[in-house]
Amino acid sequence: MTDKLTALVGYLNRRSAEAAYGHPHYWLNHLLPPVPSQVTAADVDAFAAYLLQDAELRAINLGTWLGTTEGQIFVTAVERALPPVYQPYAQLFVAALRRAAELQHEGKQVEARPWLAVAAAVTVVLAVLGWAALSSSGG
C-alpha cells in the first residue's frame, strides 16, 4: 500500500471509531443522508466540504493522487476501512473523498478557522479533564 493509501485507511479507521457516537446516521458532527441509496450531488458536496474541515484529512493531500493508478484502488480501501454501520454509505464516502480531493487540488479548501478554534478549545478542555481524572485515580 502506498503512503497516501495507508494514511487514508488509517484516517478512516481512527475517525470511524469515534464518528457515530451511537448514531449511525452521523459522521462526527455531520448528518449523513437518511437514505444511503438516494445520495444527491448536494449531499456529496456538503460531505466533501465537511471532510475538508478536518486538518488530518487535508494533510493527506489527496489532491491529484486520486487520478493516478494507485489512487484508483482507494475505492476498495475505503470500503474495507469503513465499519459495518457505515457500509451503506460507502459510495457517499468515495464520492465525497473524490470531491474533497478535487477541491483541494483546485485550492478551494473550506475556510475552517472558526471550526479549528472550537476544536482547539474542546481539545484543551478534554485534555484537562483527562489529566484531572488520571491524577485523581492515582495513575
Residue type, 124: V
Domain positions in the chain are: 3-108, 111-139
Q: Give a three-class secondary structure readout of 51-88.
A: HHCCHHHHHHCCCCHHHCHHHHCHHHHHHHHCCHHHHH
Residue type, 7: A
Q: Which residue has the cell 459495518?
A: 84
Residue type, 128: V
| Least confident piece of the model among 13-17, 20-24, 51-55, 96-100 | 20-24
For residue range 57-86, what is the model confidence (pLDDT) as tens digits? 888 887 767 667 666 677 788 888 888 888
Q: Cα(105)–Cα(82) distance, rounded to whole angstroms?
A: 24
- Residues 26-53: pLDDT tens digits? 888 888 888 888 899 999 999 999 988 9
* Per-residue model confidence (pLDDT) at position 114: 42
How confident is the prediction for the chain on average, in pLDDT? 74
pTM higher than the cut 0.85: no
Question: What pLDDT is attached to residue 109?
Answer: 52
